[in-house]
């Protein structure tokens, strides 16, 4: 009976986490209907980025903050399901693993933003860095919609499906690649004078963390 009991507990907390993220997304749609409609077509139409890049407080507004919260919840849950599917997690420590993962992601993203702004201040490229951060975080927040759908399927329909995880990762990478291409296209004139610093930024704050995480998962 104990394994069944643990499975039910596991589903209970994951259901609550998914429900919380749904509440956050519903709140975003209710409070910011027009902006949400622009956001939902982001990979196909860059209108959301163009319009909001002209406004102040791009990162510190409730629309972006709530979407980032939605992203953190679903990214943490997706990492948990990834780990559980490929290497397994003891049932008694699953919720704790999720909380630790989410705490790590929050700290990592905050530290990353602070370092990016620090570079902007040092090299006098604060405006450009703000645009880069907003662009990248918007596309990554959009990726969390894919993560949410994948999480639901992995928990309730295709449990521990490795092919689904692979497809999800490919979609996430594709969406963020589109974002990077659009960023280079829209800001090429601004980036060219600081091309060396932009490459340095990509290597230290974008590629290096992925290499470290990939090495950890491989081990």
pLDDT single digits (tens) 94-131: 999 999 999 999 998 998 888 888 877 777 777 778 88
pLDDT band at 217; cut points 50, 70, 90: low
Residue 61, phi then psi, degrees to nearest 5: -130, 155
Q: Compute how many other C-beta atoms are within 10 angstroms of the C-beta atom of residue 123.
A: 15
Q: What is the pLDDT of residues 136-151, one digit of tens each?
A: 899 999 999 999 999 9
> Do 146 and 175 meet the contact criterion of CB atoms below 8 Å apart?
yes
Look at the block and give the residue holding tokens 């990077």.
180
Distance CA 218, CA 169 (A): 16
Which of 194, 80, 66 is closest to 138 using CA atoms? 66
pLDDT value of residue 98: 95
pLDDT of residue 219: 53
pLDDT score of 105: 92
pLDDT at 195: 63
**Number of helical (H) and strand (E) elements in the chain, helices listed first:** 10, 0
Tell me what pLDDT residue 91 has: 81
- Indicate whether 177 pLDDT > 60: yes
- Find all residues with CB under 8 Å of 112, minimum gap 6, and list them: 205, 209
């Amino acid at each position: 009976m104990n394994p069944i009991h643990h499975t039910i507990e596991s589903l209970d907390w994951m259901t609550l986490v998914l429900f919380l993220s749904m509440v956050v997304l519903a709140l975003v749609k209710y409070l910011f209907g027009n902006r949400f409609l622009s956001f939902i077509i982001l990979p196909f139409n860059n209108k959301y980025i163009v319009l909001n890049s002209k406004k102040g407080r791009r990162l510190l507004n409730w629309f972006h903050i709530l979407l980032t919260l939605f992203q953190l919840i679903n990214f943490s849950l997706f990492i948990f399901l990834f780990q559980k599917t490929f290497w397994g997690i003891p049932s008694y420590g699953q919720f704790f693993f999720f909380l630790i993962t989410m705490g790590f992601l929050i700290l990592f993203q905050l530290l990353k933003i602070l370092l990016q702004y620090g570079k902007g201040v040092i090299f006098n490229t604060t405006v450009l860095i703000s645009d880069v951060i907003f662009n990248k975080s918007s596309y990554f927040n959009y990726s969390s919609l894919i993560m949410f759908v994948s999480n639901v399927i992995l928990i309730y329909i295709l449990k521990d499906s490795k092919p689904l995880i692979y497809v999800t990762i490919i979609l996430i990478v594709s969406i963020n690649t589109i974002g990077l291409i659009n960023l280079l296209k829209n800001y090429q004139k601004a980036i060219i004078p600081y091309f060396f610093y932009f490459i340095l930024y990509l290597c230290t704050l974008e590629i290096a963390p992925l290499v470290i995480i990939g090495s950890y998962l491989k081990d």
